[in-house]
């Protein structure tokens, strides 16, 4: 699994769309045709409370399945307390093979202006 720590964000602001292309080490795209993709954010630790879960069609867009291109769609970090959140992305292929290719952390910084 590759580690990709997302840049820090302020609580209450918008998580901007993030497009990712999955490739094997030889740079061949990892096909997402027929795959289910699930991402979870957990607070405090990898086994901490679930903060957010998104899936393809509900927060994840498969932009080019054959080319291995997916996008984490925009969402608002409402109610996210300052701290470190852990995430990874589980891909369940049509063959039922399950893989986690990347994950990491998302640091949330407390903002000053509240709604």
The per-residue DSSP string of the chain comes to -EE-PEEEEETTSEE--EEEE-B-TTS-B---TT-EEEEEEEESSTTS-EEEEEEETBEEEEEETTTTEEEEPPEE-TT--SEEEEEEEEEE-TTS-EEEEEEEEEEEE--S---
Task: Tell me whether residue 103 is in a domain.
Answer: yes
Asked if residue 114 has pLDDT above 80, the reply is no
Task: Tell me whether residue 51 is in a domain.
Answer: yes
pLDDT tens digit string along 48-89?
999 999 999 999 999 999 999 999 999 998 889 999 999 999
Task: Tell me whether residue 18 is in a domain.
Answer: yes
Task: Tell me whether residue 20 is in a domain.
Answer: yes
Q: Percentage of residues in the chain with pLDDT exceeding 90?
A: 87
Task: Tell me whether residue 94 is in a domain.
Answer: yes
* Domain extent for 97: 2-109
Task: Tell me whether residue 114 is in a domain.
Answer: no
- CATH classification of the domain holding 78: 2.60.40.10
Is the pLDDT higher at 59 or at 2?
59
- Number of domains observed in the structure of the chain: 1
Task: Tell me whether residue 93 is in a domain.
Answer: yes
Q: What tokens were used for 83? A: 């701290």
Task: Tell me whether residue 54 is in a domain.
Answer: yes
């Amino acid at each position: 699994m590759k580690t990709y720590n997302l840049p820090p964000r302020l609580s209450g602001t918008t998580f901007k769309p993030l497009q990712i292309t999955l490739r094997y080490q030889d740079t061949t795209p990892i096909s997402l045709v027929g795959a289910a993709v699930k991402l979870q954010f957990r607070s405090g630790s990898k086994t901490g409370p679930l903060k957010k879960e998104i899936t393809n069609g509900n927060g994840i867009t498969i932009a080019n399945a054959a080319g291995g291109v997916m996008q984490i769609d925009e969402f608002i970090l409402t109610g996210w307390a300052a701290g470190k959140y852990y995430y990874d992305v589980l891909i369940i292929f049509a063959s039922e093979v399950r893989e986690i290719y990347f994950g990491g952390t998302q640091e949330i910084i407390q903002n000053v202006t509240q709604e």
